[in-house]
Amino acid sequence: MMQTKLSELGEFGLIKRLSEKIKIYNKSTIKGINDDGAVMDYGNKQVVVSTDLLIEGIHFDLAYVPLKHLGYKSIVVNLSDIYAMNAQPEQVTVSIAVSNRFSVEAIDQLYEGMRLACDFYKVDMVGGDTSSSLKGLVISVTAIGTVEKGKAVYRNGAKINDILCVTGDLGAAYMGLQLLEREKEVFKADPNMQPEFTDYEYLLQRQLKPEARNDVIQFFAENQIQPTSMIDISDGLSSEILHICEQSGVGCRVYEDKIPLDAETDKFARELNIDPSIAALNGGEDYELLFTISPADYHKIRNNAAFSALGHITDIDLGTFLVSRDESEIPLQAQGWKHNE
């Protein structure tokens, strides 16, 4: 297929091309792309805004990340932050900086992934910016959402005796990255070797095309659950628990045997001699929701397979500990997500 140079379109031609297929879903969007700023009308609702930056070589490796998947993921990771506030995303702005090694068709693929995410989550792409880059690709996405007054959930609301819960399963995205890195090294050693991903498709999906938990926010609303605190898991379970505890002024006890792990995560972690629990605690990019709820609300999620109760909130003087399978208490440490540095 013939490749078109970005210089043939120019900045305004590129913006026109990328905006042609964008659809508007929300009545709150009064003015989108093609002006100096977007205009949104929220009435009596509160506005929630979150921005994230993705940098080639730090946050993603184009040796194994398809541009379409990258575009999709760049939107999703920002929407996840909005859902973590118990809010509903409605608009995004997208800015990119690209080097001259990228063709117009390559940028088309990136934005096609972004449009697919916007279509799936029914959010409006209302603006952004484009610029040149001396090194690789940089993506900046800002997500804008709304929440009813009094319904926003922060990191600092956890209370003693609250139940600490998480959605889905953990560690799969981190193990997906390990799988991709392993196959990259194999390819570098022998370009004729085909990547071996058999039996680990779920790990790849969790790393390359994660989803944000909009279903959980809907469940909370339908069942009249108001979490006392919440955060999305982008930097690993341990780091996120500590964020909640530090900002809420509390301690916790988290039980290792309660951490939800997918069978593929467990199998591949053991294949690489990695403790599966460590993958969940110190990995990242799961984009599940970690939250606390009052014991009075626990019965509403107790038998729901989408949720796992990890432990409980304690007095700050009791510290923040992981209770291992042999019942030893290990201090939680914020290892954080290291990306590809």
User: Can you list the domains of the chain with their CATH numbers?
Assistant: 10-147 (3.30.1330.10), 163-331 (3.90.650.10)
Contact 173, 286 (CB under 8 A): yes
Does residue 108 surpass a pLDDT of 70?
Answer: yes
Residue 17, pLDDT score = 86
Q: How many whole angstroms separate alpha carbon 151 and alpha carbon 226?
A: 7
Please tell me whether residue 258 adopts helix, strand or coil conformation. helix
Residue 36, pLDDT score = 62
Name the token pair of 96: 């990119």
Question: What is the per-residue pLDDT across 273-312, written as a single tens digit (0 to 9) for each?
Answer: 999 999 999 999 999 999 999 999 999 999 999 999 999 9
Name the token pair of 182: 């392993």
More confident residue, 115 or 196: 115
Residue 338, pLDDT score = 46
Q: Give the predicted TM-score (pTM) of the model.
A: 0.90
Question: What is the per-residue pLDDT across 83-107, written as a single tens digit (0 to 9) for each?
Answer: 999 999 999 999 999 999 999 999 9
Strand pairing report for 88-98 and 138-147: antiparallel
Residue 41, pLDDT score = 83
